[in-house]
Homo-oligomer: A and B are copies of this chain.
Amino acid sequence: MRVILTIGSTSTAMIDGISAAGASPAMMAETPAADAEIIEYGQPIGTGLTPVSPSGCPTPAVVTRAVRTLEQFETLILDAGTAAGTAAPTVSVGEQPGNDIRDEVAVPDASGVFERARELGTQFPDDELLIAESIPGGTTTAQGVFRALGESYDVSSSLQSNPVDLKRDVVETGLRASDLETGDLAGSPLQAIQAMGDPVLAATTGLVTGALETETSVRLAGGTQMVAVAALVRHAGRTEPIQLATTAFVAADETADLQAAATDLDLALQVTDPEFDQSEHVVFDRYRAGEAKEGAGMGGALALAEESDSPMATVREQIIECYEKVIQHGA
């Protein structure tokens, strides 16, 4: 088993009010790089930045790191195209951040990124891949891809209050800019990513495709962005079983009906509740309020902890310990 975090950037995240994956739009550019460093080293050693939301919610990468220290799973950071360099070791499958989906083309090299990731996906000796993402703005691009494919699912949000109207407007503008109507790219996943997606969607869809081709089990670790990956893979005609491991926070988000999408796309849904209400530590405050919810493999890592019978109390203690190390170092 290997946990793969795919990192990337999209200019879509720079739209004011669209994402909570960074204290400001400028700092959001560093979030994927810092998430990768936290998972690999336990501290944001290169960026020097602890990703927090504007209200101070720490990145879910801290949760993934905490579980990694307990379970010692092997990791891989896959760079799909990021705006900021990382001090974490990476395999690169793309050089360019994605454009704003309101531009005509969102991911110019979607096929190249997909193909390099697909080839890598065929090569792992592991029985199972757990595939996660870190890309601010990623739920908006996911919604863009759903509409291009003609799927009516809605997406969740890293913000406490999902800016659904803003996302709808952005997606509609994006479709128009690409000269598309809803559903025009049903059955054409690569074109949907190119027009309305982001580099992480291109890379993870490639990885999953390669893994399924070689009979490697796939568990998507994330929320509605990972539902978009599943939709893309299904639109490519693949029918193999796929699991989706996410958090109770995403499952509870009423703006996105995760269960319906999972049923529709034939995903085995695995929801883990880290019981953050059992602790009063500040690291859990904004999560309890409904922020962040998921990302950087959080739901998948929690699922691994649950499967190995690590008590959630131990996981929470480890999260506190990791958080304290992270903020010691980060700005």
Q: Which residues of A contact B (CB under 8 A)?
A: 2, 40-43, 45-46, 72, 74, 76-77, 87-91, 120, 123-126, 325, 329
Q: Report the Cα distance A72→B69, complex, angstroms.
A: 10
Tell me whether A88 and B87 are in contact in the complex, defined as CB-CB below 8 angstroms, given that A42-B125, A125-B42 are known contacts: no
Q: Cβ of A76: which chain B residues have Cβ within 8 Å of it?
A: 40, 89
A301 → B minimal CB distance (Å):
16
Contact yes or no, B123 A46, CB < 8 A: yes
Bound state CA distance, A74 and B65, in angstroms? Answer: 12
B120 to A87, Cβ gap below 8 A? yes
A172→B329 CA distance, assembly (Å): 48
Chain multiplicity (copies)? 2
User: Across the two chains, which residue of chain B brings its CB closest to A74?
Assistant: B40
With A123-B46, A124-B45, A125-B42 as known contacts, state yes or no: A89 contacts B87, CB within 8 Å: no
Contact assessment for A41 and B89 in the assembled complex, using a CB-CB cutoff below 8 Å: no
8 smallest CB-CB distances across A and B, nearest first, come from A89-B89, A72-B72, A45-B123, A43-B125, A89-B91, A89-B90, A42-B125, A76-B89
Are B89 and A123 neighbours in the complex by a CB distance under 8 Å?
Answer: no
15 contacts between A and B (CB under 8 A): A41-B124, A41-B125, A41-B126, A43-B125, A45-B123, A45-B125, A46-B120, A46-B123, A77-B89, A87-B91, A87-B123, A88-B91, A90-B90, A90-B91, A125-B329
